[in-house]
Amino acid sequence: MNEYIPNRYKILQKIGEGVHGVVLKAIDTTENNKVVAIKMVSLRTKFGGISPNTLREIKSLQHADNEYIISMLDMYPDLSGLALVFEYMPNTLYSKLKDEENPLSRQQIQSYTKMLLRGLSYLHDELKIMHRDIKPANLLINEHDVLKLADFGLARLYNPDEPRKCYSPQVATRWYRAPEILWGTQIYGPSIDMWSVGCVFAEMLRGVPLFSGNTDIEQLALVIRTLGTPSTADWPEVKNLPDYNKISFPNSKREEWVKIFPSFTTKEEIRLVDDLVKYNPKHRLTASEALCHEYFG
């Protein structure tokens, strides 16, 4: 932790507030008034001590060194906890998608998707970290239109040599949550992030979320209505998922992707969605494989 004068950071305004704390826009007076974002994280939990999510975020970002992952510039103690200092990113993919007056261009969609995959490829292959909460609000975009992964509060190290290791099923925002998680599995890997990438990519193409259920059951119903009832021939493990037999859904046939995307969507774009939004986690492209997809030319 750096030592510096107490007034190093001059607060400009509050720019966000979430479960884990307040985010402030500030300038670093020792770095030519560079604009930064300061995330104020309380250390007061109901169990006492530092929150596991805060620890995960700090540990993940301390090891990350990639142009498509948000940079943590500094960290210092605050009266109620810790202040994490990040590079300032004025936009999120969520805010870009909500801007109806300036819809994303095809070039932006391709560029953002490639940057997301490069960041995830680094996380998965180099650091062996699952992000576990890929969604538009956690993908930040700077003034040069560079997209970076942020919010590592649910990130977790994984060991590819321990494929049966159990993790929490309480991960990922519902609309971007892989079906195996919705069916209660605690055994999963980086492929849950790739399902989320497929959902985010589809949302950029469509302008609206691919699956937007209000409950986990409704979310599964929407997935089944689109992908059809999962086949045990294609995904033998599905019948062993903890919650698979707790509720039955009507048998459904797979919907054609072309019917739920704009008419100008290309075959390559639809194929990338199809290669990511697959029931069987083993059949989803990895981030590295997706970067070699025909969609990117």
Query: Active site residue: 28, 65, 125, 133, which one?
Result: 133
Whether the per-residue pLDDT at 3 is higher than 50: the answer is: no
Position with higher pLDDT, 34 vs 52: 34
Q: Is 34 annotated as a binding residue?
A: no
Range 144-173 average pLDDT: 90
Position with higher pLDDT, 221 vs 52: 221
- Span 224-277, pLDDT tens digits: 999 999 999 999 999 999 999 888 899 999 999 999 999 899 999 999 999 999
Is residue 153 a contact partner of residue 54, using CB atoms and an 8 Å limit? yes
- Strand, helix or coil for residue 142: coil
Range 171-200 average pLDDT: 96
Range 196-215 average pLDDT: 97
CATH of domain 9-87: 3.30.200.20
Q: What's the pLDDT at 7? A: 76
Ordered by start, the domain boundaries in the chain are 9-87, 91-296
What's the chain's average pLDDT? 90
- Strand, helix or coil for residue 220: helix
| Ramachandran sector of residue 128 (left: φ over 0; alpha: ψ -120 to 50; beta: rest) | left
Examine the residue annotation and report whether 234 is marked as an active-site residue of this protein. no
- Tokens describing residue 230: 């999962």
Q: What's the pLDDT at 18? A: 65
Q: What's the pLDDT at 5? A: 38
Distance between CA atoms of residues 174 and 118, nearest Å: 24
- Strand, helix or coil for residue 69: strand
**Superfamily of domain 91-296, CATH level 4:** Transferase(Phosphotransferase) domain 1 (1.10.510.10)
- Strand, helix or coil for residue 275: helix
Residue 125 DSSP one-character state = I
Task: Give the whole-number percent of the chain exceeding pLDDT 70.
Answer: 94
* Pairing assessment for the beta strands 147-149 and 81-87 based on DSSP bridges: unpaired
**How distant, in Å, are the alpha carbons of 135, 153, 196, 210, 272 from that of 294?**
24, 33, 20, 22, 8
User: What backbone phi and psi angles, to 5 degrees, belong to 55?
Assistant: -60, -45
Q: What's the pLDDT at 2? A: 45
Distance between CA atoms of residues 135 and 87, nearest Å: 20
Neighbours of 180 (CB within 10 A): 24
- Strand, helix or coil for residue 166: coil
Is residue 147 a contact partner of residue 93, using CB atoms and an 8 Å limit? yes
Nearest to 252 by CA among 277, 288, 223, 210: 223
Whether the per-residue pLDDT at 25 is higher than 90: the answer is: yes
